[in-house]
Chains A and B, each alone.
Chain A
């Protein structure tokens, strides 16, 4: 990479997301403040005030109205970006379904934060995982750099399959931590993201409507179409990632196998926990223990084939869930069990509720989980960890 095509800046994860949004050149960007998302909104309005971000910024009274404005703007045929967190994501819930149903390729960043009650502000992925059935594509990012790259890739993916995308990163660990981030040049992003030109739009010169009541058959067909679009996502996401890698030298995959060669135990997790697990794996490898990490970057659609291929021949899996579905357990644990069900030589899976509510999980703690795995129940239920 030459200096001309990128610049290294010291950015928080949230400011990296704002840079990605700026480079993607959306035409409409509604937003509502919420901790710990607010720096994304503020940075974008700052860019706009400088004349560096040419989007219609809308500041309504709630996240619900933010998403309502996003959908209508997207259907009018322009690129749309927004960001939220926690309660804001939950308030949007009805409209997340609506957006996916309308096939509006909105890109939304989410900062994973605990869901009330009780009130708290800590990293926890329950907010976005609770949206898994809304029809949005979901990515989980580990670092500021990955968040920047993923938001830009998300526009390409969303607009190719006409399905909205959310890109989540963890509160504070990623959203507020500063790190050097390589910010690509505008020309590079322009080459990667062609102007948005959807096949249908709300336009008085070419009268089409959206949202009218449909018959049972039409609704059924519509859901099948959405399913077919979702099924294309892993390949489309890989293509976008390969092209991004060609242009920038950075690729992230839809899942990542880290030091999984001959691993006896593989840790499976998402988001900032991957960074912690990476350190733990390095330390354990150093001590001669055959342990690896499988990072799930694309969560919806769940890349079942990639997960099965990545875990083929692995005897032991530990899933670390920083989320909790009461009565169900760790969401990734339960989804991975379902994904691997019936697989020949499937690994033994243990689900660990680790870090729920933002409780700190250190690399040393993860190494202890691996060491003491034999004492952890490998049944259907996820297990609370201290």
Chain B
């Protein structure tokens, strides 16, 4: 057990409407603390919109604009340009969107904003499904996971948002999770120090949607990293890869075993998921090695 020494600016207030034990509330608290008060947030319909609170209440000490579900990156673009037109270049625009609002319905405008390299931080609060409507599948839901709309388990793979956004050549794309809080905070600070479109994909274990006990969120987040299901890495300018947690110390079955959404899996399915993770891990290592070679060659 270690005590984390985090300097925290109180930007996220108690009294918010998250479920008890919610990892999303914990994550956003630390993201906001790192961003500070000169920030405006764009929050589409999602768990985060509920957590932000109904009128006239707000759990965030910054202005929040809630756009339509599919329009977060376009709205952030409009907000950014209007702030720029008023000379407020230092004000950060941050999006807090769910995976449904990012991988699915909001993806078209996110891709376009990244192509224009619009100057905002996009935080995808990825709980791998439409949890705010009662846990249906999104294109972020992993294979075999049971959801309200895939009662027999999803048959297709999870989309890789971070890789797709990195392929746009954005200045910064990274994965992070509250299970590794200092790493998460460092990445927010790094994103804050850059300009252009910056993406943070945060894995948010959902207690209700994944079938975890109230105190099980952080354990699931740590197991996801330790098994290689959710590698922690950063990509700069779409080319330079850095792996932040370089060893895998658990089999995928440890991670799956924590969650009710995987309880129906047979041995072959578990093996298939292990193979999928192994393949992804090897690919990631090759990219890290390639960018190290490139860096060496450049020196």
Contact = CB atoms under 8 A, between A and B. Distances in A.
Interface in B48-76: 49-50, 52-55, 57-58, 61-68, 70-71, 73-76
- Residue of A27, A77, A202 most packed against chain B (CB within 10 A): A202
A204 B63 contact: yes
A60 B109 contact: yes
Given A64-B70, A204-B38, A204-B39, A212 B75 contact: no
Nearest to A213: B54
B66 A72 contact: no
A16 B131 CA distance: 49
Contact of B58 (A78, A202, A212): A212
Contact of B112 (A56, A60, A209, A210): A60
B162 interface: no
Contacts of A369: none
Interface in A8-62: 27-28, 30, 55-56, 58-62
Contact of B84 (A56, A60, A208): A56
Contacts of A204: 37-40, 62-63, 91
A59 B53 CA distance: 33
B85 A78 contact: yes
A211 interface: yes
A98 interface: yes
Given A59-B116, A78-B82, A211 B77 contact: no
B181 interface: no
Given A76-B83, A212-B52, A61 B112 contact: yes
B165 to A, nearest CB: 15
Contacts of A74: 78, 82
B10 interface: no
A204 B60 CA distance: 11
Interface residues of B, number: 44
Interface residues of A, number: 41
Nearest to A202: B63
Contact of A77 (B52, B53, B66, B86): B86
A65 interface: yes
A69 B118 CA distance: 12
Interface in A144-179: none
A98 B61 CA distance: 24
Contacts of B178: none
A203 interface: yes
B82 A77 contact: yes
B113 interface: yes
B243 interface: no
B108 A78 contact: no
A116 interface: no
Contacts of B84: 56
The 7 A-B pairs with the shortest beta carbon distances in the complex, nearest first, are A211-B66, A69-B78, A65-B74, A76-B82, A72-B78, A68-B71, A61-B112
Given A60-B109, A77-B86, 16 more contacts: A27-B82, A30-B77, A58-B77, A61-B109, A64-B74, A65-B73, A72-B65, A72-B77, A73-B81, A203-B40, A208-B63, A209-B52, A212-B49, A212-B58, A213-B50, A213-B55
9 contacts: A61-B108, A61-B109, A64-B71, A69-B75, A69-B78, A76-B82, A209-B52, A210-B64, A212-B49
